[in-house]
Every structure is written in structure tokens, then in C-alpha cells.
Amino acid sequence: MNAIDQFREQTRAWLEANCPPSQRKAIPEGELVWGASEVEFPNADAQLWFERMRDKGWFCPDWPAEYGGAGLSPEYNAVLESELRRLKCRPPQINLGIWMLGPVLLEFGSEEQKKDLLTPMTRGEVRWCQGFSEPNAGSDLASLKTCARDAGDHFVVDGSKIWTSYGDKSDWMYALVRTDPTASKHAGISLIVLDMKSPGVSVAPIDLISGKSAFCQVFFDGVKVPKSQLIGPLHGGWNLAKRLLQHERKAMSKFGEFSLPTHFHLLPLVSQYLPEPAGHSESALVARAVASAMNEHSYNLTVQRMGEEARTGQDVSGLMSIMKLVHTEQERDKFEVLLDVMGYRALGWDKGAFSPQELAITRGWLNSFALTISGGASEIQLNVIAKRVLGLPDVK
């Protein structure tokens, strides 16, 4: 038996013995474990699974051993990933640091930064949040204004970040800040990391139209950040940000693999809620609902086709560029139809008179508005398709 087969066998045996059966099912939202200075575990099995994977170095299996990883080559890492998938093992922890900042640090960080920042990540001891968007820098991220003023051995940070997920629960933030206000907008940006307990940092959770949310606004008022916490070159943050966002896409698809789909099938709900025989307006609603379901079916087939094309080595960048737009616009459309189909049953705010599913649909509808805005608004997606895929010219 060659070394890699041996590794597969050992890995399989170790996972069989060490992954508690309860940790081999899709995770409901409430049972996600976030690596942090004070980890909250939903149950003892989750803690056991967390600790065993941590001690194995398998939070970051492909990172070098000197920073706390397991030092697996891509080939061995792929074996581990396929075995984890085969057993349907939950990720032992969720950590933005590992998925997004970590790879950028490995590529661009100084030796000291790697030691100081990566090692706690591999032990699941720090919860990271991302400071990118600002109240006046959304779709146009590069116009961000939060500034880091040079004050000798440290920067002084002033400004505000918004849409920071779990800003109130995070230990550290990686953030894009303006270090050169005189340079052109892309050229004056740097990437820094900072301790959320630093004096001058304050966090305010944001309530959305759907109610409580994970989003926060973070304010910086004269926050001192040592210069050793600058990642990569001074004023060279924009390239790092682009790299981070590439990792974000990968991370989000990984995330999707494990979480339970909060997915509503439209047509069964139509039969459940619309009276029979249908009147004229109800027949029109059925037609809208069926059209919506057919568009969703076409989208699912497109996901399948893109996978097949990628496997045969074809260029799928064009198809990739439409996915976020199509999926989120269809979700919006689906909820709009559902609201009309269900009438008052989809307009409930509090439990009592409404089923949990009905309340979830109401909240899902309200949440769906954010889908076509966050992560690149639909209009930005259309710009990308028009310019990068179709090659339409810029305005002179």
C-alpha cells in the first residue's frame, strides 16, 4: 500500500473513532461552534469534537506545523477533506480568521505575524471579524474613509466600519484603512489587524427589518494600533483585499456544504395555502408560483451544468459570474410570490397565531432583501457580466 492510501486508511479509522456520531449531521444554525477566546459549545459532543480536531492540528490541516497546522500537502489535505465529507463530519469550528485572513497572512505576513496570529487561530482561540464596508463605502469599497494616521511607532485609527458580522462577539478585526489620503483611492489603502478590546473601539449591533441580526457597526475613536499590526506593504492593502475576497467565496461555498438549508419549496406551499377550486386571481398566482419554481429549476440545472463543464476542463468563468445574481434574485422573487399566496399567514410577527414555518417565511422574506445587496449588489453583478464577460466598453 502506498503512503497516501495508508494515510487515507488511518484518517478514516481516526475519524470513525473520534468524531462523535452526533457531529456527523448537518448543523442547525444554533449549533455552529465559533472559535473564540471563550468558545460556547451547544453540547459536550461538540466540545469533544472541537478539542480532538484542535489537538490533531486539523483546524488548519494544510498549514505548516510551525504555526500550528498539520503540514499536510495538498494531496493529503484532499484525502482528509474527502474523508470528512464521506463521514459527513461537521466542521469542528467556524472561523473567519482561518478561512480568510489566514491564507493572506501565510502569503504576505511577516514571520513574527505568522507566529503571533496564526498559532492562536489553529487552536481556535480567537474569533475574527472583517472590517471592510463603511457607511459611505458600500458597492464602492475603495472609497473607504476610516483612516490610520502615522503616529511614530503606531497608527491612530478614526472612523467607522459597518455590516461587520458578529462585531460584538469577535476578539480581533482585520480591517482596510486609509493610510494615504492624498493618493488615488485604490493606492492609499492598507490592511491592519486590531484588538477589539483596544481603547476607543465601540460596537453597536444593527437591527434589520427582519429583526435582530449578526451585523454591527464598529466605531474607532483615536484607537492606537502598533505598526507591527500592518499586514503586507504600507498603502498596498487593496491587492490583499482582493485576495481576501477570493477566499471569502471559497469559504462561503464551504459553509454552504455543512449548514442545513433553510429552503422553502414553493409549489407544495401553494397547494397547502391556496383554496380549491381556485378563482381567477388564485389561478394567476399559481401561474406566477409555477414560473418562479421553473426558474429555480433552471438555475439548479445550471449549477449542475457548470459543475460538469468545470470537470471537463471548460472555462466556466462566464457561468460563475451569473450565479450570485440569479440565485439571490430568484430567492427574492420566490418570497414575493409566497407572501401573496399565503396572505396574512405570511405577515405574522410573533408566535401564537402562526406556525414556526409561517414565521420563518415572514423573516425569510424580510431577510431576502439583503441578499441582492450584500456581497456585491445585483447592479454590480450586472456591471461585472457586461464588462468582464460580454466585453462591453467603459464610459469614456
Q: Does 361 bind other proteins (CB under 8 A)?
A: no
Instruction: Point out which span in 60-68, 193-201, 204-212, 317-325 binds other proteins (CB under 8 A).
Output: 317-325
Residue 168 vs 309, nearer CB to other proteins: 309
Taking contact as CB under 8 A, which single stretch among the options 85-93, 99-107, 256-264, 386-394 is the one that binds other proteins? 386-394
Q: How many residues does the chain have?
A: 396
> Per-residue string for binding with other proteins, 232-271, x by CB under 8 A?
-----------------------------------xx-xx
Contact call for residue 297 and other proteins (CB under 8 A): yes
Assess 392 for contact with other proteins (CB under 8 A). yes
Interface with other proteins, residue 382, by CB under 8 A: yes
Select 141 or 319, whichever has its Cβ closest to other proteins. Answer: 319
Size of the site for other proteins (CB under 8 A): 42
Closest CA to 127 of 250, 202, 34: 34
Closest distance of CB 344 from other proteins, Å: 22
Q: Which stretch binds other proteins (CB under 8 A): 130-138, 223-231, 289-297, 340-348?
A: 289-297
The answer to whether residue 284 forms part of the interface with other proteins (CB under 8 A) is no
Distance of alpha carbon 346 from alpha carbon 361, whole angstroms: 6
We find the least distance from the C-beta atom of residue 346 to other proteins, in angstroms, to be 18
Contact pick of 55, 75, 257, 308 for other proteins (by CB under 8 A)? 308
- Asked if residue 315 binds other proteins (CB under 8 A), the reply is no
Task: Tell which positions 133-172 bind other proteins, by CB under 8 A.
Answer: none
235 neighbors 180 (Cβ within 8 angstroms)? yes
Q: How far is the CB of 219 from other proteins (least distance, A)?
A: 34
Q: Is 281 in the site for other proteins (CB under 8 A)?
A: no
Which grid coordinates are listed for 291? 414560473
Q: Does 377 bind other proteins (CB under 8 A)?
A: no
Q: How far is the CB of 311 from other proteins (least distance, A)?
A: 9
Q: How many Å apart are CA 292 and CA 286, to the nearest integer?
A: 10
Q: For residues 43 and 22, is the Cβ–Cβ distance under 8 A? A: yes
Question: What cell numbers appear for 229 in the block?
Answer: 499590526
Query: Segment contacting other proteins (CB under 8 A): 76-84, 173-181, 251-259, 299-307?
Result: 299-307
Nearer to other proteins, 142 or 267 (CB): 267
Closest to other proteins by CB, 182 vs 312, is: 312
Residue from 84, 141, 326, 359 touching other proteins (CB under 8 A): that is 326
Q: What is d(CA 92, CA 139) in angstroms, rounded to the nearest whole number?
A: 33
Smallest gap from residue 271 Cβ to other proteins (A): 4
Q: Does 64 bind other proteins (CB under 8 A)?
A: no
Can you say how many angstroms the Cα of residue 367 is from the centroid of all Cα atoms in its chain? 16
* CA proximity to 121, closest of 201, 37, 40: 37
Residue 300 or 355: the one with the smaller Cβ distance to other proteins is 300
Residue ranges that bind other proteins, judged by CB under 8 A: 267-268, 270-271, 286-287, 289-291, 293-295, 297-299, 301-302, 304-305, 308-309, 312, 318-319, 322, 325-326, 379, 381-383, 385-387, 389-396
